[in-house]
Structure 1
Amino acid sequence: MSPAPARRPSLRRRLLGFLLIPVAILLVLDILLTYGVALGYSNHVHDRDLGNDALTLAKMMGNEQLGGELTPQARFLLQYDPNGNGYFSIVSRQRGFIAGNDRLPPATRIPAVGAPPELFDIRMDGHQLRAVTLSTMTGGHPGDTLVITVAETLSDRHAQARSILYLAILTQSLLIVCVLSLVWFGVTHGLRVLDPLTRRLARRNHELTPIGGPDVPQEILPLTRTIDALFARLRGMLALHDRFIADAAHQLRTPLTGLSLHVERALADPDPSNVHDALTHIRRLNQRAARTTAQLLALTRAQAPSTDTVEHLPLELTRLIPEAVMQRVHEALAAGVDLGYQGPEQALSITGHAASLHDLLDNLIDNCIRYAGRGSTVTVSLQARPDGGANLVVEDNGPGVPPELLPRLSERFFRAPGSSEEGSGLGLAIVQRIAERHHAEVIYQLGEEHGLCVEVRFPAPRIRDDTATAHETPPAR
């Protein structure tokens, strides 16, 4: 049984989650706060009423006509409570307990006569009580003082607080429902601002033009800019692909046509000498086509957009360049060319890609071997610059090129007029592209002995975040 597919993330669910969850938490906090405020208000009202009851009882007991005694009617009203939540006691300093509940605990501090009533909390029969006490003079017994205490349970206070809470919850719930409805409506309709962009993308076929426009919301501009940058890279890759096809067609047309002619020649005349001559030409044209294809692929790799700079690592040129020159010595000897190297003894490093630099040096050496001629000398030298960079110089003493043609040497398919050697005209173009990938500068100038001198100026190595020193070695050839 295959597992159920994971639910796709939803921007609407995410926005609603960020909005609704905090609203629900605020609602709970609001309920707690409302109940606390209602209970505080209820306590304030009941404390005030409790104090007024004590003052009323004190005035009644201080009436000279009553003589400090309670009438039966007053006693009934004070002791009567339909909920059984009211308590009082009247204690005389001279006569002791007079009326009320004799088990009512006294206050820890009895106020003086004429002082405001004192509120305090007590417990009786397992109930928490709120009480008030005061002192007053009696009318019928001069010099006697009465201590009056009135108390009640907290049930009425909590009941009143709950009533206020229920009323507040009802009104606030209606308000919250309205707010959530507005949030839902706002999120749903707010996301419709993306509809023009969606319709514009849906109408496209194979276009890779930028998708940004004045109707793109500011919040998704980073996304559209990233997509536009991706489209730009794709356009570059497609242009590179088209250019490669055009270059291949341009360069392979001549050797393929020659191959076809020599095959027809061999088939038309089966004479062994003619067949041998045709096969010789076929082999030469095949080698030319193979080299042209390799050069086209190398140029395509050099022209491809760089994805990232992490592939560029510290390279020790004083080790990499001599090894690359040694691999071409046998080929140079076969062509009658004296190939040599000159470089500093101390280490010289740059930041780059070893395989690309190997291709760069290969094309420079190959260009010298092909066009300098037999008996010529080719010197590869490495020089340190004061700014920390490095200069790679490849110089020959061949016929060279006219000074006015030096700026065109890096053009694709350009070959100096009058050259008898076959070539694709891509070698120095590859050198130029690889140098650009390494932020280097290529300078073409005449050599000291009428040859060609190519100087590649590499910048100082970039400082990496990590302290590890990594060195790439060129692939075996």
Structure 2
Amino acid sequence: MPDRRHSAARRPPRPSLRRRLLTFLLVPVLGVLLLDAVIGYFVALAYSNRVHDATLSDNALTLSEMIGSDALRGELTEQARFLLEYDPNGRNYYTVTSDRHGRVISNAILQAPSVAVDAPPRLFDTELGHRPLRAATMRVPSRHDPDDVLTITVAENLRDRHARAREILLLTLPMQALLIVAVLFLVWLGVSHGLRVLEPLTSRLARREHDLSPIGEEDVPVEILPLTRTIDDLFARMRNMLGLQERFIADAAHQLRTPLAGIRLHVERLTETTDPAQRADAMNHVQRLAARAARTSAQLLALTRTQSPDLPDRDGMAEIDLATVVPEAVAMRVHQALAAGVDLGYEGTDDPCIIRGDALQVQEVIDNLVDNAFHYAGRGHVVTVSVARGENEVLLAVEDDGPGVDDAFLGQLGERFFRVPGVDEDGTGLGLAIVESIAERHDARVNFLHAKAGGLRVELHFPAAAPLKDHSLH
């Protein structure tokens, strides 16, 4: 026997709306934090570069002021040397060149772009042994030789700039992280509080037992309206199915009560009498009532099936050619027509008569119309099934030359359990009701008319699958 604890441990966790919302919020927020850190670092680096560039320009200006006559001999004053070489994180670099005497003093060879005399220091990027540097250069007249111009270039490495940027980032990142944690906490509180809006709805649904009425929309949030509307549609289908079930049970109880009571009565006759004539008569009654009960049950099932909401609508049906289907259905009933003494015929066209429909339900329509004509026209009469087409519809008709139906009862044909008064033939009154129900499923129109020969004519006007031009019904 499998261990239930292990199977429960392998079961995936139930989906959680709260967890899903928080996950969808957490991942973007963490992404924003990472992006903010990257942007913050570059902003801090830009600020650090600006501060160091200003200092570097000031160093170039200060050096130009501190250079004395010793510079031409390759020496610097102590103040200038301290200014240039003092760097707690590395060293600075400098070069002083004279237009007349060439390079006069330096601790590195720095190539500088050309600048105007007495112009502000010019900042530029350079390298020293593949080491990136930031430099400032300027040209000033020599104090000791009016015809000479000194070019002063100072440079520094970039380590201090990046160190300052990292310090700024490390100062701001904890505050940003704390702010994001606070935002996530507030989001969690908001999601938890927002989900409480579902509590009245869940409480109201929990109090239901067998109530399938619509949920309604008075306390339903807009975001879950599609869900509740889908549930309302499901409730409607269930109410329809339960209504069909209850109607079927009531109809079956009503229609089967009489034949079942008759069968019971004639079975008692069989057990109580030894007269062969009476026993034969009772057996005949039992057989006739059993056939009636079976036919009633079959037609009740057929009627309930045609009213089922699970059947496809017209758009979900297939194309059917009545010019092919109807003659085949009529041919299958020829032997029954011969046994009943009815002249069964077909009139149609060789042109396609395409409709959208359910083949089994169309067969059910033909069978019920032919059965109805057989029962009420009677032996020795003619039953004709015809198919014709028009511009936008296809006509299926069944007519007979029997006694017909009075005008007062034509409007009641198709009602459940209605039978024309004065007709001796056994029937359930469900055949034409089934035809009406199937026709409604196919968006077809049913007409009950007097036939030219005096009997009943039943017409079904089906919408054509495609418009049929230049044709008319005859």
Q: Same fold (TM over 0.5)?
A: yes
1:302-313 correspondence to structure 2 within 5 Å: 302-309=306-313, 312-313=317-318
Alignment of 1:259-298 (within 5 A): 259-298=263-302
The alignment yields a C-alpha RMSD, in angstroms, of 2.2
Match of 2:100 among 88, 94, 101: 94
Following TM superposition, by how much is the alpha carbon of 1:355 offset from its aligned partner in structure 2, in angstroms?
0.8
Q: 209, 213, 220: which one pairs with 1:216?
A: 220
Residue 323 of structure 1: aligned partner: 328
Matching residue within 34, 37, 49 for 2:55: 49
Give a deviation string over 1:405-438, Cα, whole Å, max 9, x none: 1010111111111111111111111111011111
Distance 1:347 1:71 in 2: 113
Conserved 8 A contact 2:263-2:289: yes
Residue of structure 1 equivalent to 2:25:
19
Give identity over the alignment, percent: 56
| Aligned partners of 1:332 and 1:339 also within 8 Å | yes
**Offset of 1:306 from its aligned partner?**
4.5
Q: What is the aligned partner in structure 1 of residue 363 from structure 2? A: 358
Deviation at 1:279, TM superposition (A): 0.8
TM-score, normalized by length of structure 1? 0.92
Report the equivalent of 1:30.
36
Distance 1:323 1:89, change over 3 A: same
* Residues 72/220 of structure 1: CA separation in 2 closer, same or farther (3 Å cut): closer
- Deviation, 1:110, is 2.7
The match for 2:457 is 453
Counterpart selection for 1:257 from 242, 258, 261: 261
1:68 and 1:141 in contact (8 A); partners too? no
Q: 2:94·2:154 contact (CA, 8 Å) conserved in 1? A: yes
TM superposition shift of 1:396: 0.7
* SS at 2:145 equivalent: coil
C-alpha distance after superposition, 1:251-291 (max 9, x if no partner):
10111111111111111112222111111111111111111
Pair 73,375 (structure 1): closer, same or farther in 2 beyond 3 Å: closer
Distance in 2 of aligned mates of 1:69 and 1:145:
17
Residue in 2 aligned with 1:372?
377
> Contact 2:89/2:159 (CA < 8 Å) preserved in 1?
no
Cα distance in 2, alignment partners of residues 392 and 241 from structure 1: 31
| Range that drifts further, 18-27 or 67-76 | 67-76
Deviation (angstroms), 1:126:
4.9
Is the Cα contact below 8 Å between 1:68 and 1:140 reproduced in 2?
no
Q: What's 1:399 paired with?
A: 403
Question: For structure 2, which runs of at least 5 residues remain unmatched after alignment?
Answer: 468-474
Contact 2:85 2:91 in 1 (8 A): no
Structure 1 residues 280, 446: CA separation in 2 closer, same or farther (over 3 Å shift)? same
- Which residue is 2:150 aligned to? 146
Does residue 412 in structure 1 map to residue 412 in structure 2?
no
- 1:236 and 2:236 correspond: no
Q: Which residue of 2 aligns with 1:195?
A: 199
**Alignment of 1:443 onto 2:452:** no
Alpha-carbon distance between aligned partners in 1 of 2:291 and 2:433, rounded to the nearest angstrom: 20
CA offsets, 1:333-354, max 9 Å, x none? 2111111111112221111111
1:298-348: CA deviation from partner (whole Å, max 9, x where unpaired): 111112124433651111111110111111111112111111111112221
Matched position secondary structure for 2:135: strand
Shift, 1:96, TM fit: 3.7
Paired amino acid for 2:217: G
Please name the residue that 1:181 is paired with. Answer: 185
| Alpha-carbon shift at residue 46 of structure 1 (Å) | 0.6
Q: Find the aligned partners of 2:307 and 2:124 in 1 and give their Cα distance.
A: 90
How far apart, in 2, do the equivalents of 1:84 and 1:220 lie? 65
1:70 Cα deviation from its structure 2 partner: 4.1
Query: What is the identity, as a one-letter code, of the residue corresponding to 1:81?
Result: D
Q: How many residues align?
A: 460
Give, in whole Å, the separation in 1 of the partners of 2:383 and 2:88: 121
Name which of 183, 186, 209 aligns with 1:205: 209
Deviation per residue, 1:350-392 (Å, 9 max, x gap):
11111111111111111111111221111111111122x1111
- 3-state SS of the aligned residue for 1:386? coil
Contact 1:50 1:131 in 2 (8 A): yes
Preserved contact between residue 66 and residue 79 of structure 2 (Cα < 8 Å): no
